[in-house]
Amino acid sequence: MGEGIAQTSMPLPDLNAMGDLPAGVHRATLAEVLRRFGSETGQRGVCTRRLSHVYGLALRTGCVKRLIVFGSFVTAKEKPNDVEGISDFGLRIEKTLKPSSVADQS
């Protein structure tokens, strides 16, 4: 995949009887997530394109450590409501803070 986002992964576990991933953090590349949950058609296709777009935007910042995806997209739901995600900027964002701005907050 691209530089800037962690690429370490393990195979995604099977979904449980309710159609959800087991509780926990499951590392995967974007390709693995899209292979498992993506589609080219319908609402799942809309979500797939949105996730791919957000991933591309995150890569371009050069600051994202990982993209965390959750919600109905990563379930067996035929028509997920949307795709939820959080960008983890890790420690790099701290480098943009001036020491005086941190001290002024106390």
Structural domain of residue 67, as residue ranges?
Answer: 1-106
Q: Say how far apart CA 85 and CA 42 lie, in whole Å.
A: 20
Q: Say how far apart CA 59 and CA 76 lie, in whole Å.
A: 27
- Please give the pLDDT value at position 19: 96
DSSP-derived secondary structure for 23-50? SS-----HHHHHHHH--SSHHHHHHHHH
Please report, for residues 5, 18, 66, 100, 101, the alpha-carbon distance to residue 48 in angstroms, rounded to integers and kept in the order given: 18, 22, 18, 42, 39
- Pick from 25-29, 82-86, 90-94: least confident: 90-94
DSSP class of 20: B
pLDDT at residue 1 greater than cutoff 80: no
The torsion angles phi and psi of 104, rounded to 5 degrees, stand at -70, -20
Say how many domains are in the chain.
Answer: 1
Over range 80-97, report the average pLDDT. 73
**Residue pLDDT, tens place only, 27-70:** 999 999 999 999 999 999 999 999 999 999 888 888 888 889 99
- Please give the pLDDT value at position 106: 46
CA dihedral 23, 75, 16, 85 (to 10 degrees): -10
